Amino acid sequence: MALAPSNDTATAKGAAAAKGAASAREAAPARPPSRTPTRGFWSSTIGKKTVMAVSGLLMLAYLVAHVAGNLKVFFGPEEFNGYAHWLRVMGAPILHHEWGLWLARIVLLAAVGAHAVSAYQLSRRDIRARPTRYAHRRKGSSYATRTMRWGGIILALFIVWHILDLTTGTVHPGGFEEGRPYQNVIDTFSTWYGNTIYIVAMLAVGLHVRHGFWSAAQTLGVGNARRERVLRLTANLLALVLTAGFIAVPVGVMTGVVN
């Protein structure tokens, strides 16, 4: 007949089991803090690329509308000044004076900020992923990377100058007046440095759009082997039309077509 275990033995076994469970809990790795879906999306590489693609397309839509408005300068001061006035009353009578314009500016500023931050963080992440430089790089990839990086810096500096020139008038070469946008444009492009800054920046816009549009299509899942030729052709056409349209304004002033 087997003897039942004593109370002391059972107590000792229970204490040992509890101690073992506590040790196991201490040895187990701590769980990472839970992330919200939005934070998790932004932290991922694909999330940053998606933000960069969507914000880039928003800026592209703005550029298309902006170049169309700029080309009104060829139809005379009344047409161009009327367009500038419409921007200030855009959305009326539902929106108050200039509210539509400021709403567009806020959306554009948010897009520029999101685009710049995601581009910077992706670049830093890429550098950390490959601490040593490759001995041989793909020529096309390296060229595109340099173009996007330096093009982005040039455009950021240009945006600051452009605002100070034709929005606030801080660095405007002539007698800046809010009510005469046509003459303000003439004043800016009557200087050699105004033309140089603008044309260099618009060439950077073209290169940025050419690579960025195709890259955004790949990120958003639109691109594939069959569509690649069409996407590249579309990117080239967009870059060409935007660059030519923007540069046409200073060239028009320099040649006397716009006066």
CA distance 195 to 187: 11
Give the pTM. Answer: 0.80
Look up the CATH number of the domain holding residue 174. 1.20.1300.10
Q: Which amino acid is located at 239 in the chain?
A: A
The reply to whether 78 falls in a domain is yes
> How long a stretch of residues is the chain?
259
Which pLDDT score is estimated for 26? 52
The reply to whether 20 falls in a domain is no
Alpha helices in the chain (DSSP H): 7-27, 37-43, 45-70, 77-89, 99-129, 139-166, 181-188, 192-219, 228-255
The reply to whether 166 falls in a domain is yes
SS3 11: helix
**Structure-token pair, residue 150:** 């330096």
Which pLDDT score is estimated for 49? 93
The reply to whether 3 falls in a domain is no
Give the list of residues 6+ apart from residue 52 with CB closer than 8 angstroms, or none. 114, 115, 118, 119, 122, 216, 219
The reply to whether 67 falls in a domain is yes
Domain span at 51: 46-130+139-255
Instruction: Return per-residue pLDDT of the chain as tens, 259 residues.
Output: 444 455 555 555 555 555 555 555 555 455 555 567 777 888 898 999 999 999 999 999 999 999 999 999 999 999 999 999 999 999 999 999 999 999 999 999 999 999 999 999 988 887 787 655 554 455 555 666 677 788 889 999 999 999 999 999 999 998 888 889 999 999 999 999 999 999 999 999 999 999 999 899 989 988 777 888 899 999 999 999 999 999 999 999 999 999 8
Q: Which amino acid is located at 64 in the chain?
A: V
CA distance 82 to 61: 22
The reply to whether 188 falls in a domain is yes
Give the residue from 212, 186, 202, 214 showing the smallest Cα distance to 240.
202
Give the residue from 204, 212, 246, 198 showing the smallest Cα distance to 63.
246
Number of domains in the chain: 1
The reply to whether 10 falls in a domain is no
The reply to whether 34 falls in a domain is no
Contact between 167 and 150 (Cβ < 8 Å): no
